[in-house]
Amino acid sequence: MASSSPSPAERFIAGILPENPIYRQLLGMCPTLAVTNSLKPALTMAAATAFVLLCANISISLIRPLLKPHLRILIFTLTIATFVTIADRVLAAYLYEMSKQLGPYVPLIIVNCIIISRCEACSSKQPLPHAVADAVGMGIGFALALSSLAFVRELLGMGSLFGYQVLPSSWPNWGILVLPPGAFLTLGVLLGAVNAWTARRKARVQSN
């Protein structure tokens, strides 16, 4: 993050926590809040988004010298829309039940700001290895954020993980966590926790 042109390794590490798309950049909030009421749809959404991010970053990085400034957003959107459509069809063919559960949120990956912002910030300016590292790092960061959210919401809201009952039936399921207000509440609490942890780590590093 220090140099003006981060190396692939720096891009990769940055995507996981220092520039985590959810907890640090606060991008792509819509699917984050919508599909994290349990772990299985959350991870499927993360996988679909990571696939699109990787393919889009590779494509844009390869055609990088041909991009015109006044047409680049159009080309980003065209590329992203194509890969999202492919991901949506593959899900409908091979994971039909999950595709129905995710519903309109898979096509909505097209407008997920994470992907277009990585195209703009990284893959339209840096060669292939950087773009791939960036996509993989951001994909892992996104998956970690989604699964941390879904872990809390499913465990406390339904007493289960991945559909398997984990907590004893005496646990009063906190139903609100499974509903939209719970998404906002959980995200707020986890965001505050990540901020507190980052601030404490920075203070400790500075005092050393």
Q: Which x/- pattern over 157-186 shows residues binding another protein (rule: CB under 8 A)?
A: -----------------------x------
Token pair for 137: 């790092």
Q: What does the alpha-carbon distance between residue 143 and residue 29 come to, in Å, rounded to a whole number?
A: 13
Number of other CB atoms surrounding residue 117 within 10 Å: 16
Expressed in percent and rounded to 5, the helix, strand and coil fractions of the chain are 75, 0, 25
Residues 10-39 within binding reach of another protein (CB under 8 A): 34
Angle between helices 128-158 and 39-62 (to 10 degrees): 170
70 near another protein, rule: CB under 8 A: yes
Q: Which residues contact 92 (CB under 8 A, 6 or more apart)?
A: 99
Q: Are 31 and 101 in contact (CB under 8 A)?
A: no
Shortest separation between residue 102's beta carbon and another protein, angstroms: 11
204 near another protein, rule: CB under 8 A: no
63 near another protein, rule: CB under 8 A: yes
Residues 72-111 within binding reach of another protein (CB under 8 A): 74-75, 78-79, 82, 85-86, 89-90, 92-94, 96, 100, 103-104
Q: Which residues bind another protein (CB under 8 A)?
A: 34, 63, 66-71, 74-75, 78-79, 82, 85-86, 89-90, 92-94, 96, 100, 103-104, 180
